[in-house]
A = this chain, B = another copy of it.
Amino acid sequence: MTESLPQTPLSQDELQAIDAYWRAANYLSVGQIYLLDNPLLRTPLTPEDIKPRLLGHWGTSPGLNLIYAHLNRVIRAKDLDVLFVTGPGHGAPAIVANTYLEGSYSELFPDITRNEDGMRKLVRQFSFPGGIPSHTAAETPGSIHEGGELGYSLSHAFGAAFDNPDLIVACVVGDGEAETGPLATAWHGNKFLNPATDGAVLPILHLNGYKIANPTVLARIGREELTELMRGYGYQPYFVSGDDPADVHQQMAATLDEITNEIRAIQTAAREGGKNERPHWPMIVLETPKGWTGPKEVDGLPTEGTWRSHQVPLAKVRENPEHLEILQKWLESYRPDELFDEQGRLRDNLAALAPEGTKRMGANPHGNGGKLRVDLKLPDYRDFALPVSEPGGALGEATRAGGDYLREVMRLSADARNFRLFGPDETASNRLAAVFDVTDRSWDAETLPTDDHLSPDGRVMEILSEHTCEGWLEGYLLTGRHGLFSCYEAFIHIIDSMLNQHAKWLKVSKEVPWRRPISSLNYLLTSHVWRQDHNGFSHQDPGFIDHVVNKKADVIRVYLPPDGNTLLCTLDHCLRTTNTVNVIVAGKQPEPQWLSMDDAIRHCQEGAGIWSFASNDRGAEPDVVMACAGDVPTIETLAAVSLLREHLPDLKVRVVNVVDLMRLQPDYVHPHGLSDADFDALFTPDKPIIFNYHGYPWLIHRLTYRRTNHGKLHVRGYIEEGTTTTPFDMAVLNGIDRFDLFIDVIDRVPGLAESAAQLRQAMKDKLADHRRYIVEHGQDMPEIRDWKWPAA
């Protein structure tokens, strides 16, 4: 491919300058890994100059430095706007070095000055207690990417590029990372990128050949097969390859010149020529040695160009004089005197190679998306209220109401282009199809006349990859926009690990003073555990909530709206928040609606409250508290209460519904937590509580074990029982049904066990009737299907 490019686009001066810049970054990368002091080698290195614990990853750093230096050049030459996404995030020494060299680092960390003193602090702080982490992270200027877990760089890059037409997102993909599943499918992002209105993604596959201890797959399939793979993914690959710096510099410069022209040509064709065909975007395969310019051999074993360069190639520098000498020579090989002046400043001719202001990749505002974020224009959610004249008087589909609301969010954000909806092919299935009144599904691949709402300009992002949806959304949020991920509840576990990294990012970014808040990561989980009518056991898992609540309390929120109007309030609230993860679980099936919009607003503000229409304790002490969280458990609780009213009219029952799950934790544990006094007032200090919960029951115990009345708390929830069966049978299989709840009351309210023994048996009989009926008829008994909350 590169044959036709000019062989030597760089003059000798340019070549020497860019090579010197690269050497400076390499020098500082090595310095960060090894040096405690003496960063300019003013005297020969001694063991005291060396860190006692050598930590970090050298292997990927020289490649990252090369790419960064050459992107600087092309940014300057063509006045480009480039965001750098570091797939090999453990190469933080390289990114820190480059942002220091270009000056953006010192602007954000004024203590790290651009002189010898600052350089001493720079090298010392890396992987050092009280300093900075070894991976790119929220502390790293220009980064949008927690650089530890691998696999998400390319989907983040596409997310950053959407609706940023002038941005080029240069995404370095390590050849190790390229083996992960999420990365292997993220290449297909090019079928969802609109050259007319989105920016460009420039993937740079860094083929340095090795992982921790093994060669990489893509480095060992030959160039022909790799070319086919990249072409099969829809790209035009350009190879830059070698171990002679001068040669590689020329190749890289020529390739970047060519590629940036090509990107512009594609965009112009789409924007001015109206060309609507999916382009074959360019990408680069950079083949350079792992740990390039590092020690060729250590202790008699080949090191440069092998997996032995992955982390710290010289492990015993303090203890082994031979290692110390190799390090001294290695650092000297970069000729620091040519790079830094007497004060330790990068020499002017080299400093001039970096772009200026916000064109510096460490200062690109897209890399600190909160700076660009504007609030989302939201409609008045009350306009979409489901009419509820009396509790349970009408059926409604909660997520369909949510879809109507989201349609207007989509409409109002059309000009700002700062909201997208993400989901693995489930937008319609999840009853959100109203959004298609105002936009399409994003689609830049082939279309057929029978296709439905597909267009390159669509703002609904659907691909059958939860990883890609999550990565796109994260990238979109991290660069200052807004979004919502709607997903089947069970399969959101697919991105558990991505959520971990994003939650870590949020936790740390709140501690970094210059990071501006970004929009929250919002999940609407539907097609939930209780209504997997078409699917059954494999689609039943409510455990994402459990996973999420392990994260830092001030980052996570969980909502279980019991009906449509509470869902609308909750959606509106979540779309206004920043720097949190909001998990909303709501059903999509026709279900009784409980609260008018006014009541719903009040209930959502309280987060957990008494439902007086269903309670008969009249402000006095109840005999039992019937608590519920989640739409289906709420129905069963109310059905049980209606049975209690009928059969045990003197029993004083209080119904408490919880919409904001974190209310259950104490206020000193979670910012939404109820005080112990408020909790006791709601749940009583000593009466039996029968808590019917949407998910795994023990989560409620884990949230409330510190509460006064925890000893009397009995929780029902999903206990991993289920198959393809009727909706009510799912409740029965897991014991959250009305009859089992009734029996719980009898068993737990003092005195009832004796006086209501017959009623207990009657409920058991009902359960047996149910079983017989469904096996005979294949659907629930009429009294279940037609059940309604009794009119007042």
- The stretch among A65-73, A221-229, A569-577, A590-598 that forms the contact with chain B is A221-229
Are A225 and B216 neighbours in the complex by a CB distance under 8 Å? no
A705 cross-chain contacts in B, Cβ below 8 A: 698, 701-702, 705, 710
User: Most chain-B Cβ atoms within 10 A of its Cβ — which of A221, A222, A307?
Assistant: A221
Q: Does A128 contact B (CB under 8 A)?
A: yes
Q: Does A182 contact B (CB under 8 A)?
A: yes
Partner of A546, one of B130, B307, B504, B547: B547
Chain A residues numbered 717-747 whose CB sits less than 8 Å from any CB in chain B: 720, 723-726, 729
Residue interface bits A518-538, CB-to-B below 8 A is 1, else 0: 000000000000000111111
Given contacts A465-B181, A508-B537, whether A129 and B774 have CB atoms under 8 Å apart is yes
Are B53 and A533 neighbours in the complex by a CB distance under 8 Å? yes
Are A232 and B226 neighbours in the complex by a CB distance under 8 Å? yes
Are B214 and A774 neighbours in the complex by a CB distance under 8 Å? no
Closest Cβ neighbor of A533 among chain B residues: B55
Chain A residues numbered 233-288 whose CB sits less than 8 Å from any CB in chain B: 233-234
Q: Does A551 contact B (CB under 8 A)?
A: yes
Are B180 and A507 neighbours in the complex by a CB distance under 8 Å? no
A729 cross-chain contacts in B, Cβ below 8 A: 129
Are A450 and B710 neighbours in the complex by a CB distance under 8 Å? no
Chain A residues numbered 46-78 whose CB sits less than 8 Å from any CB in chain B: 51-53, 55-57
Bound state CA distance, A302 and B146, in angstroms? 46
Are A445 and B129 neighbours in the complex by a CB distance under 8 Å? no
Bound state CA distance, A533 and B129, in angstroms? 11
Given contacts A212-B428, A778-B36, whether A180 and B185 have CB atoms under 8 Å apart is yes
Q: Does A379 contact B (CB under 8 A)?
A: no
Closest Cβ neighbor of A779 among chain B residues: B52
- The stretch among A393-401, A491-499, A635-643 that forms the contact with chain B is A491-499
Are B234 and A232 neighbours in the complex by a CB distance under 8 Å? no
A299 cross-chain contacts in B, Cβ below 8 A: none
Q: Does A345 contact B (CB under 8 A)?
A: no
Q: Does A439 contact B (CB under 8 A)?
A: no
Q: Does A757 contact B (CB under 8 A)?
A: no
Closest Cβ neighbor of A549 among chain B residues: B698
Bound state CA distance, A778 and B429, in angstroms? 55
Bound state CA distance, A226 and B696, in angstroms? 43
Q: How far does the Cβ of A464 sit from chain B's closest Cβ, in whole Å?
A: 4
Are A181 and B468 neighbours in the complex by a CB distance under 8 Å? yes
Closest Cβ neighbor of A467 among chain B residues: B181
Chain A residues numbered 303-335 whose CB sits less than 8 Å from any CB in chain B: 306-307, 311
Q: Does A543 contact B (CB under 8 A)?
A: yes
Bound state CA distance, A199 and B127, in angstroms? 47
Bound state CA distance, A687 and B148, in angstroms? 42
Are A538 and B778 neighbours in the complex by a CB distance under 8 Å? no
Closest Cβ neighbor of A551 among chain B residues: B720
- The stretch among A133-141, A159-167, A558-566, A578-586 that forms the contact with chain B is A133-141
A777 cross-chain contacts in B, Cβ below 8 A: 52
Partner of A547, one of B149, B535, B547: B547
Are A213 and B427 neighbours in the complex by a CB distance under 8 Å? yes
Q: How far does the Cβ of A86 sit from chain B's closest Cβ, in whole Å?
A: 13
Are B188 and A179 neighbours in the complex by a CB distance under 8 Å? yes
Are B231 and A225 neighbours in the complex by a CB distance under 8 Å? yes
Are A220 and B447 neighbours in the complex by a CB distance under 8 Å? yes
Chain A residues numbered 593-635 whose CB sits less than 8 Å from any CB in chain B: none
Chain A residues numbered 472-527 whose CB sits less than 8 Å from any CB in chain B: 490-491, 493-494, 496-497, 500-501, 504, 507-508
Chain A residues numbered 183-212 whose CB sits less than 8 Å from any CB in chain B: 183-186, 188, 191, 211-212
Partner of A536, one of B133, B445, B541, B702: B133
A541 cross-chain contacts in B, Cβ below 8 A: 500
Given contacts A425-B212, A446-B222, whether A180 and B465 have CB atoms under 8 Å apart is yes
Partner of A90, one of B135, B496, B535, B720: B535
Bound state CA distance, A733 and B496, in angstroms? 24
Given contacts A181-B465, A425-B212, A779-B53, whether A148 and B497 have CB atoms under 8 Å apart is no
Q: How far does the Cβ of A235 sit from chain B's closest Cβ, in whole Å?
A: 10
A536 cross-chain contacts in B, Cβ below 8 A: 127, 133-135, 137, 148
Are A501 and B543 neighbours in the complex by a CB distance under 8 Å? no
A51 cross-chain contacts in B, Cβ below 8 A: 778
Are A137 and B537 neighbours in the complex by a CB distance under 8 Å? yes
Are A463 and B533 neighbours in the complex by a CB distance under 8 Å? no
Q: Does A426 contact B (CB under 8 A)?
A: yes
Partner of A696, one of B127, B496, B507, B550: B550
Given contacts A52-B778, A452-B213, whether A134 and B534 have CB atoms under 8 Å apart is yes
Are B538 and A147 neighbours in the complex by a CB distance under 8 Å? yes
In the assembled complex, 6 residue pairs joining A and B whose CB atoms fall closer than 8 Å, in A order, are A129-B774, A181-B468, A184-B188, A191-B220, A222-B446, A543-B550
Closest 9 CB pairs of A and B: A148-B538, A229-B232, A181-B181, A228-B232, A184-B185, A220-B445, A184-B184, A129-B774, A179-B464
